[in-house]
Chain A
Amino acid sequence: MISDIIAIIRDYWLLLLIGQYPNGPLGGLAATLLLSVLAIAFAFPVSIALALARLSKSPFLNWPVTALVYFTRGVPLLMLILWGYFLVPLVTGANVPSFLTMLVTLVVYQGAFLSEVVRGGIVALGHGQMEAARALGHSYLGAMRFVILPQALYNVIPSIISVFVATIKDTTLGYVINVPDLTFAASQINNQLLTQPFQVFFILAAVYYVICWSLSRVAVLTERRITRKRAGTAPQPTAKSLKLAALTDQPS
């Protein structure tokens, strides 16, 4: 069994890593990670806008966004992907690669989830920060930009990492619309071998486990660090460490 697994990795590691590239679209693990990174990168600004809209007192901003968030959370992601599968080509009027469809769907889906994380971070800060910033003469947007968001986003970094892990796991659903990601590469290998499905899918599970577990650890460690820092028990910069930091030109 173990020798089978090693043989499959030896024969197919390049396919698992980058898919058919450069003879076809970028695939495999590279596509999975690229898709996740792009999805989070685009979902992040979307989520801040959605969170601010949900916190706004204007019903024109508040209600549609609240409806969108409830809708997104109440419907399976697979259903949204199928919507994207026929809606995105309809809107753009062109033949859209499944990678792009998946990206758009993930941005909407994770944007909605992330917006609740961001909103939680802002609500958790308490009114005092906003009131103090406004009293100092900041406009609403200025206070958000310079006072509220830097603190709120810093505090929710662990949750943002968790959403990132969830995004990596969600990219597997692209399997249904043939996104050439890691899961797709594994099923291709399975179709070629036919006799060793357990070994192939075991490798797939193991790769996902290693990536997601490592990232979850990063989230846990970051959370501890932030808790310590907020409790004031994190090591404070001393004159010596500051001098060292200045010398090595590293942010302390």
Chain B
Amino acid sequence: MSSFDLSEILGNPEYVSMLLLGIKMTFIVAIGSWVLAMTLALLLLGLRYAPGPVGNAFVTAYVSYHRNVPTLVQLLLWYFGIFTLMPDPVTFWLNDHNAEAIFAVIALGLCQAAYFSEDLRSGMRAVSPGQMEAARALGHSYVSAMRFVMVPQGSRNALPALINHSVSLFKNSSLAVAIGVAELTYAVKEIENLSFRTFESYLLVTVLYLVFSLMIMALGAYTARRADPVRSGRA
């Protein structure tokens, strides 16, 4: 093996475009599943607080399943299992529309929703019940007390955990390679196969992952600072 040389990868337009396509797909999968996960997490949180035992039991089962089954197995179950149970027109449509990526988004989004909803719940639990009592005493209805008093404080408490899980969601997007999504991990394997520059290709992509993860953490820290009324100078 000749000496370390990144220029062979970065100087080749073919490899660079593979890399860029990989980055694009990684972000599509990560952002798509993040939006799905956050939407579902808010719905799950609502169900948790709904009166009656049914919603609570459903959310408990949902969270338990997604936390105790490996994410890769969930991906395989969706792509190889549930996909084949769908009616033919749906299957054809999905095959025409990059089915791998869609199922990666579904599996990762459903899985991460369980973690996000637990983060939000723990954030809400950390708000003292006195806050709710005080808001009600001041004349707020239950819904408006939730809207103006409880959720703003609870979601702020949950921010560090949400940031952590957003980073792991981003890292988990690499699992999509197992069902053939052409994302960043897929790109590095392709480039390595073509260029035989094993060390350089892995190093390049590893640094990219590291930089993106650190960027998400920085964005999260910025959001946390903005959300803090004292440190953002709004109080």
CB contacts (< 8 Å) of A183 on chain B: these are: 70, 72-73, 76
Structural contact, B80 and A190, CB atoms closer than 8 A: yes
Structural contact, A205 and B73, CB atoms closer than 8 A: yes
A204 sits at the interface (CB 8 A): yes
Q: Which residue of B lies closest to A213 (CB)?
A: B68
A173 sits at the interface (CB 8 A): yes
User: Could you give, for residues 170-199 of chain B, a 1 whenever the CB lies within 8 Å of some chain A CB and a 0 otherwise?
Assistant: 011111011000000100110000000011
CB contacts (< 8 Å) of A175 on chain B: these are: 72, 178
Structural contact, A74 and B214, CB atoms closer than 8 A: yes
CA A219 – CA B129 in complex, angstroms?
28
Structural contact, B174 and A212, CB atoms closer than 8 A: no
CA A205 – CA B81 in complex, angstroms?
11
User: Known interface pairs A86-B202, A183-B73. Does A202 touch B81 (Cβ–Cβ under 8 Å)?
Assistant: yes
User: Could you give, for residues 60-100 of chain B, a 1 whenever the CB lies within 8 Å of some chain A CB and a 0 otherwise?
Assistant: 00001101111111101100111011000000000000000
A41 sits at the interface (CB 8 A): no
Contacts of A163-185 to chain B: CB distance below 8 A: 165, 168-170, 172-173, 175-176, 183
The SS class assigned to the B binding surface is helix
A79 sits at the interface (CB 8 A): yes
A20 sits at the interface (CB 8 A): no
CA A202 – CA B65 in complex, angstroms?
12
User: What's the tally of chain B residues with a CB closer than 8 Å to chain A?
Assistant: 37
CB contacts (< 8 Å) of B80 on chain A: these are: 190, 197-198, 201
User: Could you give, for residues 16-57 of chain B, a 1 whenever the CB lies within 8 Å of some chain A CB and a 0 otherwise?
Assistant: 000000000000000000000000000000000000000000
Structural contact, B188 and A82, CB atoms closer than 8 A: yes
Structural contact, A198 and B68, CB atoms closer than 8 A: no
Q: Which residue of A lies closest to B214 (CB)?
A: A74
User: Could you give, for residues 136-150 of chain A, a 1 whenever the CB lies within 8 Å of some chain B CB and a 0 otherwise?
Assistant: 000000000000000
User: Known interface pairs A74-B214, A79-B205, A79-B206. Does A208 touch B73 (Cβ–Cβ under 8 Å)?
Assistant: yes
Structural contact, B70 and A169, CB atoms closer than 8 A: yes
Contacts of A56-81 to chain B: CB distance below 8 A: 71, 73-79
Contacts of A196-237 to chain B: CB distance below 8 A: 197-202, 204-205, 208-209, 212-213, 216
Choice from A71, A187, A205 contacting B69 with Cβ under 8 Å: A205
The 8 A-B residue pairs with the shortest CB-CB distance, nearest first, are A198-B81, A212-B68, A169-B70, A76-B174, A76-B171, A74-B213, A201-B77, A172-B70
**B-to-A contact residues, CB < 8 Å:** 64-65, 67-74, 76-77, 80-82, 84-85, 167, 171-175, 177-178, 185, 188-189, 198-199, 202, 205-206, 209-210, 213-214
**A-to-B contact residues, CB < 8 Å:** 71, 73-79, 82-83, 86, 165, 168-170, 172-173, 175-176, 183, 187, 190, 197-202, 204-205, 208-209, 212-213, 216
Beyond the given A75-B206, A79-B202, A205-B73, please list 14 additional residue pairs across the A-B interface where CB-CB is below 8 A. A74-B171, A75-B210, A76-B185, A78-B175, A170-B70, A172-B73, A173-B72, A183-B76, A197-B81, A198-B82, A198-B85, A202-B81, A204-B77, A213-B68
